[in-house]
C-alpha cells in the first residue's frame, strides 16, 4: 500500500479524495451546479452523457455538446464544499468553471425565471476569507460573462448582469427571519443597503468560486436562475433548473469555440476582432 499524504488527500488509487476523480476523468470545461440531482438535468442538454463518480455531495459527469467536451460537478451548498470542488477539479486539470445555480433577486423588476449573470461577487461568504483578505476582488472572467450573455441572447432568455452578494448563510445572512423569527437589527436594512449599492442578487457559492479562480489562475463565472424576489416576495421554481442548465451548456460550447479561434489566431485573449474574423 502506498503512503498517503494528509496534506494532499487522495484515495488509495490516487483519486482526489472528495470528488473521487483523477486526471483524465474530467474535461477542462466544467459546469458547477450546487445540487447533485441537477447533474443529470444538465446532461439532458448534452448530446451524450456519462456519469463519472458520485461521492457525498460531489456528483461528476461528462459528455459532448456539439464539438465540445463538457463536464459537470455538483458542489453542494455554500463556500466550504465549493472550495473542495474547485481545488480538486483544478488538481485534475479543469481550468474553466461555470457555476449554474439559483438565486434571490433584489430589485423588483427582476422576475422569477430570469437569469442573473454575475460580473463580480461581494464576498460575504467566509470561506474565501481563509485564502485572502477582502480587498481581493471576486471577479468573473470577462470571456465567461460574454459567453453567458451570448448564450442567453441565442436562447431568447431574459438576463441581467450585475454584482452578486455571495453569502455564507441562506437565512439570517440573507435577511430572512430564521427560527423563532430570529433576525438582528443590522439585517433589517441589509436588502435596501445592498440595493443602494446596486447589488442584484443573493446566492451562496460565487464568492468562493471567483476568489479561488483568481488566486489559482482559472477561468470562472456564474449564472443563476431567479427563483425568489426579495422585494416583491415572489418565490417560484418553475423550470429554472432546466433553463440555467441550457444557458450554462450553451455558454461552455461558445467558450470552446472561442478558444479554438484563439488557438488558430495564436491569441491568449478574446478580442472583438476575433469574433468577427471568418473561421
Catalytic residue among 57, 83, 88, 203: 88
Among 70, 213, 218, 227, binds ligand URA (CB under 6 A): 227
Applying CB under 6 A, does 159 fall inside the site for ligand URA?
no
Applying CB under 6 A, does 211 fall inside the site for ligand URA?
no
Catalytic residue among 15, 18, 28, 99: 18
One-character DSSP codes across the chain? -PPP-TTS-B-TTS-BTTT---TTSS-SEEEE-SSTTHHHHHHTTSS--EEEEEETTEEEEEEEETTEEEEEE---SSHHHHHHHHHHHHHTT--EEEEEEEEEE-STTSPTT-EEEEEEEEEESSTGGGTS-TTS-EE--HHHHHHHHHHHHHHT--EEEEEEEEES-SSGGGT--BGGGB--GGGTTHHHHHHHTTEEEEESSHHHHHHHHHHHT-EEEEEEEEEEETTTTEE--TTHHHHHHHHHHHHHHHHHHHHHHHHHTT-SS--HHHHHS--
Q: Is 18 a catalytic residue?
A: yes
* Closest separation in Å from C-beta 99 to ligand URA: 12
Applying CB under 6 A, does 174 fall inside the site for ligand URA?
yes
Applying CB under 6 A, does 115 fall inside the site for ligand URA?
no
Applying CB under 6 A, does 104 fall inside the site for ligand URA?
yes
Applying CB under 6 A, does 170 fall inside the site for ligand URA?
yes
CA distances from 22 to 10, 29, 84, 89, 123 (A): 9, 15, 14, 9, 30
Q: Find the residue with minimal CB distance to ligand URA.
A: 104
Catalytic residue among 62, 99, 219, 230: 230
Applying CB under 6 A, does 258 fall inside the site for ligand URA?
no
CB nearer ligand URA, residue 43 or residue 104: 104
Contact 76, 57 (CB under 8 A): yes
CB nearer ligand URA, residue 71 or residue 79: 79
Q: Is 88 a catalytic residue?
A: yes
CB nearer ligand URA, residue 43 or residue 173: 173
* Closest separation in Å from C-beta 214 to ligand URA: 21
Q: Which stretch binds ligand URA (CB under 6 A): 4-12, 85-93, 107-115, 202-210?
A: 202-210
Applying CB under 6 A, does 204 fall inside the site for ligand URA?
yes
Q: Is 54 a catalytic residue?
A: no
Residues with catalytic function: 18, 88, 176, 230
Q: Which residues bind ligand URA (CB under 6 A)?
A: 102-104, 170, 174, 202-204, 227-228
Amino acid at each position: 500500500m502506498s503512503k498517503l499524504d494528509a496534506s494532499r488527500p487522495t484515495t488509495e488509487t490516487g483519486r482526489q479524495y472528495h470528488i473521487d476523480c483523477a486526471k483524465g476523468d474530467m474535461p477542462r470545461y466544467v459546469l458547477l451546479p450546487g445540487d447533485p440531482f441537477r447533474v443529470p438535468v444538465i446532461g439532458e442538454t448534452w448530446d451524450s452523457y456519462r456519469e463519472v463518480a458520485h461521492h457525498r455531495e460531489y456528483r461528476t459527469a461528462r459528455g459532448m455538446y456539439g464539438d465540445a467536451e463538457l463536464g459537470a460537478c455538483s458542489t453542494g451548498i455554500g463556500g466550504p464544499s465549493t472550495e473542495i470542488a474547485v481545488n480538486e477539479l483544478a488538481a485534475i486539470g479543469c481550468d474553466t468553471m461555470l457555476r449554474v445555480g439559483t438565486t434571490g433577486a433584489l430589485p423588483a423588476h427582476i422576475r422569477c425565471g430570469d437569469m442573473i449573470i454575475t460580473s463580480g461577487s461581494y464576498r460575504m461568504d467566509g470561506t474565501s476569507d481563509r485564502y485572502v483578505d477582502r480587498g481581493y476582488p471576486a471577479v468573473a472572467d470577462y470571456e465567461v460573462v460574454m459567453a453567458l450573455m451570448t448564450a442567453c441572447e441565442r436562447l431568447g432568455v431574459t438576463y441581467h448582469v450585475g454584482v452578486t452578494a455571495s453569502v455564507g448563510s441562506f437565512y439570517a445572512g440573507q435577511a430572512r427571519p430564521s427560527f423563532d423569527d430570529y433576525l438582528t437589527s443590522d439585517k433589517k436594512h441589509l436588502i435596501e443597503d445592498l440595493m443602494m449599492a446596486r447589488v442584484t442578487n443573493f446566492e451562496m457559492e460565487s464568492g468562493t468560486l471567483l476568489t479561488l479562480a483568481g488566486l489559482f489562475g482559472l477561468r470562472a463565472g456564474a449564472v443563476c436562475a431567479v427563483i425568489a424576489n426579495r422585494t416583491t416576495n415572489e418565490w417560484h421554481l418553475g423550470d429554472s433548473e432546466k433553463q440555467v442548465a441550457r444557458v450554462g451548456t450553451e455558454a461552455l460550447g461558445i467558450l470552446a469555440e472561442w478558444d479554438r479561434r484563439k488557438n488558430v489566431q495564436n491569441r491568449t485573449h478574446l478580442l472583438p476582432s476575433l469574433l468577427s474574423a471568418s473561421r
